[in-house]
Amino acid sequence: MLNGGQLDAAARSFMTGNNTNKCIAYFITDGRNPGFKLRDIPDSVDMVVLFGVKYYHYLDTLKYPAGTGMMSTYSSYAAYFADIRALQRRGVLVLQNVDDDKSWQQGTPDNYSSPEVWAAALRELLLGRLELNGISLDVEHSGAKPSPVPRFPGYDSTGYYGWYSASMAANASYLACVKALTRYFGPRAGLGAQLHIASGLDVYAWNPIVDNFRDDFDYFQLQTYSGWNTTRAQLAMNYAVQTNRIPAYKMVFGAYAEGGRDLNNATALARWVPTQGPKGGMMIYTYNSNVAYAEAVKRAVKQ
């Protein structure tokens, strides 16, 4: 990621290139399709998000050994990181997934003493020690709901049918966690590290995060999986651009390779150009679980 304080070649090339029609591949490390490794991701994928394995697994590899649980895909961490380096040398950026957690609402994210201490620890681990290219926040997990729950804007405005009630509110402490991350990750941090969100317009935290940090994220990924067509996606894009004031080129739409269904809609969504202009691209969850499906979506977004 950093080389003597300078951006590495992959990050420099990415930042100076076209920022639309990107292909973001989620790679699940739990042992699915074990013959397909990170090194098998094709060059036409722009970014890989490491999913399943948690950042804190890297801090205690005795407690979370390779070859088990969420690291079942690899028999050793050395082989895992060797494949990550191979991707980076080819110009593919590699990000770590980070889940939101109810501890964010208490201002003690993942049991760190403060958001600032936590964010600095992630910077040291992920950018410093492991030399990854950023993080993607998976914002959808459970915690205290907002009180009162705000009125949902409606399907015609958002493309969603209602709030995702399993999600949590973004209170002041939660937002402090996001703010702390923006010191090291995202376009305004100055370190060349990517900052994404993977979520939906229907989570309680979406609007507060965007209202406070829209300029601090490189991409906003929507989990538009089975059942999403371009008409529905256009409604979501309208809300993101007109209400949230997110540029169209930062909006990324999702395909659900893991489910293996609705490929026609997924490829149509990948080819689709919103009325506001080219979108940021497509994210594919999880690429290695169904490579044929993922490749079809990747080809469509890259046409």
**For the chain, which residues make up each domain, given as ranges?**
14-301
| Identified catalytic residue from 131, 140, 258, 295 | 140
State residue 14's pLDDT score: 54
> What average pLDDT does the chain have?
95
Kindly indicate the confidence band of residue 9, based on its pLDDT and cuts at 50, 70 and 90. Answer: low
As a whole-number percent, the residues of the chain with pLDDT over 70 amount to 94
Q: Each residue of 22-62: pLDDT tens digit?
A: 999 999 999 999 999 999 999 999 999 999 999 999 999 99
> What is the pLDDT at residue 6?
40
Shortest CA distance to 300 belongs to which of 276, 266, 256?
A: 266
- Alpha-carbon distance 90 to 18, whole Å? 17
**What CA–CA distances, in Å, run from 292 to 8, 57, 108, 260, 261?**
31, 30, 41, 9, 12
Give the confidence band of 173 by pLDDT, cuts at 50, 70, 90: very high
DSSP 178-207: HHHHTTTSSTTTSS--EEEEEE-TTSTTHH
Q: Does residue 140 carry a catalytic annotation? A: yes
Angstrom distance (rounded) from CA 20 to CA 302: 10
Tell me the pLDDT tens digit for each residue of 119-147: 999 999 999 999 999 999 999 999 999 99
- Whose structure tokens read 């009180």? 147
- As assigned by CATH, the class of the 14-301 domain is alpha beta
Whether the per-residue pLDDT at 5 is higher than 60: the answer is no
Cα separation, 85 vs 80, whole angstroms: 9
**Of 293, 303, 302, which is closest to residue 26 (Cα–Cα)?**
293
The string of pLDDT tens digits covering residues 71-107 is 999 999 999 999 999 999 999 999 999 999 999 999 9
293, 33 in Cβ contact below 8 A?
no
How confident is the model at residue 17, as a pLDDT?
61
